[in-house]
Amino acid sequence: MVRKKPSWHTEEPSLGGVEPLGGEWMTPRRRFLSAVTGGRVDKVPAATLSSVVTLDGMDLVDAHFPEAHLDAEMMARLAATAHEQLDLDTVMPVFHSQLEASALDADTWWGERDNWPAPKSHVLTDPEDFRIPNDYLNRPSFEAALGAIRLLRLRYPDVGVVGKVYGAWSVGFQLVGIENWLMMTITEPDKIHRFLEVLLPASLMSARAQFEAGADVVMWCDHANRELVSPETYVDFLLDMHREIATEIGGPSILHCCGETTDRIEYFAEAGWDTFHFESQVDAYEAKKIVGDRMSLMGNLNNSEILFSGDYDSAYEASMKVLEAGIDGLAPEGSVPLSTKMATLRALADAARDYSNAHRTNGRLVRHDPPSDPSVA
């Protein structure tokens, strides 16, 4: 039987009649996992690591907030729009920040169609009062999230499935109150260390349950950016804990930290995370210079000015600039505003494909040219 040459093939086979790989030959799942751990890729992945859920997407699949937060089928349908409608290499079903906190008895407001969930009140004042409920992983927030991950794994075996965990630091914000928490880092540091000690097992249980349900990667969210704490505070309270998490989480890991984090990226790399998901406040060239090949970088695409307020062309141009910095995966910097247009978000996959086609060596693998900071001319 004569094999038909694919459209990308331009040279005669040189492997004894076997045509060489070229173009996009990896599955989205394999491509994404390779990028997370710093490996070879046939295309730079375009991904959702936070949320790309939009009001348009809710209407398209008839799955709306707030119901989709607590219904596995609706959550799975809504998460799938990232791949089905936006052609991204991943799906991510945990659209909110209340997964662990709600299951730990936080009083949660589940939001509205056009608004995100949030804690209604703070329920914890002393770490010695904290207990993980016996049915923690069977609480409604987990039933929905874990059920959605199982459905997505079944329906999309070749697409990357991303889980999301709020770490002990961020769960502490929700249970204790962010102002109380940050004040205690100064006035009662030993108490914060104890809070972290008792809260950590709940976050690790969440991560491992998501891996068991079928997640390929878990993104760990701990918000310790420059606007909240100093680099020294990160080192004092979180560096050793993050090193422990990176070895015990149970699979590939992504750290997400909102805001300006340039002055602590070195510590994130030293903690052992596979990937850092970072915001547009951080210069991508500088971040790449800091981490080298110790940790992958994903994200950096501005939400408010580029994705929400912009259009397809501006999103495509901005995506290309981020890719040229040499990052390992293109993604929004965080959860996109719900009114963002899906037509604008489609620029991410197109830009990642076009960039990769222009930087593919021997038709097979993408090579990042050594990035040159455009500010230095």
Cα distance between the two ends of the chain: 56
Q: Give pTM, 2 decimals.
A: 0.92
Once rounded to an integer, what is the mean pLDDT over residues 195-222? Answer: 98
Q: In DSSP terms, which residues pair with 165 in a beta bridge? A: 220
Distance CA 50, CA 34 (A): 19
Amino acid at 76: A
Please, which pLDDT band fits residue 342 given cuts at 50, 70 and 90? very high
* Pairing assessment for the beta strands 360-361 and 365-366 based on DSSP bridges: antiparallel
Residue 23's pLDDT is 87
Residue 236's pLDDT is 98
Whether the ω angle into residue 6 lies within 30 degrees of 0, i.e. cis, is: no
Residue listed under structure tokens 């991508």: 284
Q: Are residues 234 and 197 in contact, defined by beta-carbon separation less than 8 angstroms?
A: no
Residue 75's pLDDT is 98
Q: Are residues 54 and 341 in contact, defined by beta-carbon separation less than 8 angstroms?
A: yes
- The angle subtended at Cα 291 by Cα 285 and Cα 294, nearest 5°, is 140
Once rounded to an integer, what is the mean pLDDT over residues 120-141? Answer: 96
Q: What is the pLDDT of residues 73-85, one digit of tens each?
A: 999 999 999 999 9
Distance CA 56, CA 64 (A): 10
Class of the 35-362 domain? alpha beta
Amino acid at 338: L
The DSSP secondary-structure symbol of 237 reads I
Distance CA 311, CA 19 (A): 40
pLDDT, greater one: 372 or 349: 349
Domain ranges of the chain: 35-362
